[in-house]
Amino acid sequence: DTEVTQTPKHLVMGMTNKKSLKCEQHMGHRAMYWYKQKAKKPPELMFVYSYEKLSINESVPSRFSPECPNSSLLNLHLHALQPEDSALYLCASSAPRGYNEQFFGPGTRLTVL
């Protein structure tokens, strides 16, 4: 099973809302990632978790709050977002060693009104 799942597929939220994005993998991977992708741009790394611990935070604003409850799950909590945060949010996982490829989920298309 090489699948990474993400929910929801689409999300529309107001600037005062609180919402969460969810990501799940059952490949036994111990590294998980959040990326943000704007239209016609490459994905931008936001966070990396390795063995359920946050190992990279790419200076992401605090209105984005990641959480890794266990080795299979990754959440991204959203609060007080801005319209410019509208984007495709991609989750990925990999074996933690550097050479291993990352497997991506289908993404959540987020629109902030």
Partner 1 sequence: AQKVTQAQTEISVVEKEDVTLDCVYETRDTTYYLFWYKQPPSGELVFLIRRNSFDEQNEISGRYSWNFQKSTSSFNFTITASQVVDSAVYFCALRGGRGSTLGRLYFGRGTQLTVWP
What are the residues binding partner 1 (CB under 8 A)? 31, 33, 40-43, 45, 48, 50, 55-56, 88, 90, 92, 94, 96, 98-107, 109
- 17 by DSSP, 3-state: which? coil
- 11 by DSSP, 3-state: which? strand
Question: Closest CB to partner 1 among 16 and 59?
Answer: 59
Q: How far is the CB of 49 from partner 1 (least distance, A)?
A: 9
User: Of 90, 91, 89, 83, which is closest to residue 111 (Cα–Cα)?
Assistant: 83
Question: Closest CB to partner 1 among 66 and 107?
Answer: 107
